[in-house]
Amino acid sequence: MYAAASDPKRARLAAVQRLLREPLGVFGVTLVVLMLFGAIFADWLSIYEPNKISPRDRFQGPSWDHLLGTDQLGRDLFSRVLHGGRIALSVALFSTLASLVIGIVLGLIAGYGPRWLDNLMLLFFDSIKSFPTVMLALALVTLFGPSLTAVVIVVVLVNVPGYARIIRTQTLALKESEFVTAALSMGASTPRILRVHVMPNVVGPLLILASMDIPVVIAIEAGMSFLGLGVRPPTPSWGAILNDGFTAIRDTPWIVLAGGLPIIITTLGFTFLGETLRDVFDPRLKGRG
């Protein structure tokens, strides 16, 4: 468990080497890097303004002018896909980070705090978890209106209970450990014990699980945008592009493909990456998730 990483630097280097020996890992890294590259340099790579409407060019098939064709308003799909990637990835990274921070803090409190607080928090986590994601999303959008913030809140609400539970269980185990008792007997404060003695020993597995959750987050964003609960038009999002193409799928299937393929590629990339990361860093978790 916590005896795994001996010299952290060397262990990390060895892990990266092992990651690059796994074909699945290399494939995942390639896809993810490709998507990140597209998202970061979207402004340079796209020739057209992603929201520029030109009715004359509507429903054009893929060509050298429009690599992925155009949609019902004549907008260049390649530009929209690149900019949509920006939204998908930034939502994924930001909301995963937010879920991690909140999950870790709540998990530490539940695991280390008094019993009644632990029970109360578990009840809270279970209540949130019992909502289907789509229902949760609908309820929140009804309250706040469709926006990226709503997407982030839904993702955080969906992720936090699981993350907090993982941290809680491990904190509970470490609470009685001799090195925590030793710190107590030296007069260490609760924040110090949690920060210095507990947290470094519990976050490792969670980071790996969180990296495997990124595809789920991307799917949530795309799904909500598809349903019109996420970004507002005309902001480009893969889910929104999918929805644009959905109505014209019989005559112009490339619009749906333009929205769907990047979702598939990114999801696959992160899944492969996450699974290889898990196997490389923590073989005990193999076959889970």
Partner 1 sequence: MTAILEVKYLEVTFRVGPMMRRQDLLGVAGVSFDVNPGETFALVGESGSGKTTLARAVNGLQPISAGSVTFQGQRVDTLSVREMKPLRRDMAMMFQDPVGSLSPRMKVGDLVTEAFRIHRVEADLQSETERLLSLVGLTMDFAERFPHQLSGGQARRVGVARAIALNPKLVIADEPTAGLDVSVQGEVLNLLGELRERLGLAMLIITHNLHVVHHVADRMAVMYLGRFVETGPTEEVFSAPAHPYTAALLSANPEPDPDKAQDRITLPSEVPSLLARPEGCEFHTRCPWAKDKCRKVVPDATAINGRRVACHYPLDEGARPPPKKEPS
- As measured in angstroms, the least distance from the Cβ of 285 to partner 1 is 19
How far is CA 234 from each of CA 50, 52, 73, 154, 248, rounded to the nearest angstrom? 9, 9, 10, 22, 18
Residue 187 contacts partner 1 per CB under 8 A: yes
The single residue among 33, 97, 123, 184 that binds partner 1, judged by CB under 8 A, is 184
In the set 192, 195, 284, 286, which binds partner 1 (CB under 8 A)? Answer: 192
Q: How far is the CB of 160 from partner 1 (least distance, A)?
A: 25
The residue (of 107 and 269) whose beta carbon lies closer to partner 1 is: 107
Closest by CA to 238, choosing from 101, 15, 35, is 35
Binding status of residue 182 toward partner 1 by CB under 8 A: yes
**What CA–CA distance (Å, rounded) separates 57 from 241?**
17
What is the DSSP track for 38-49? HHHTHHHH-SS-
**Residue 114 near partner 1 by CB under 8 A:** no
Residue 215 in 3-state DSSP? Answer: helix
When binding is defined by CB under 8 A, the residue of 135, 200, 247, 284 that contacts partner 1 is 200
Helix (H) or strand (E) holding 80: helix 77-112
Torsions phi, psi of 70, nearest 5? -130, 165
Residue 207 binds partner 1, judged by CB under 8 A: no
**With CB under 8 A as the contact rule, which of the stretches 1-9, 100-108, 236-244, 270-278 interacts with partner 1?**
1-9
Token pair 């507002």 is found at 232
First to last CA, the chain: 19
Q: Work out whether 196 is an interface residue with partner 1 (CB under 8 A).
A: yes
- Show contacts with partner 1 in window 140-179 (CB under 8 A): 177-179
Instruction: Give the three-state DSSP class for 149.
Output: helix
Please count the residues of this chain forming the interface with partner 1, following the rule CB under 8 A: 21
Interactions with partner 1, residue window 10-29 (CB under 8 A): none
How far is Cα of residue 220 from the mean position of the Cα atoms in its chain? 9
Per CB under 8 A, 191 contacts partner 1: no
Q: Which is nearer to partner 1, 88 or 203 (CB)?
A: 203
Binding site for partner 1 (CB under 8 A): 2-3, 6-7, 177-179, 181-189, 192, 196-197, 200-201
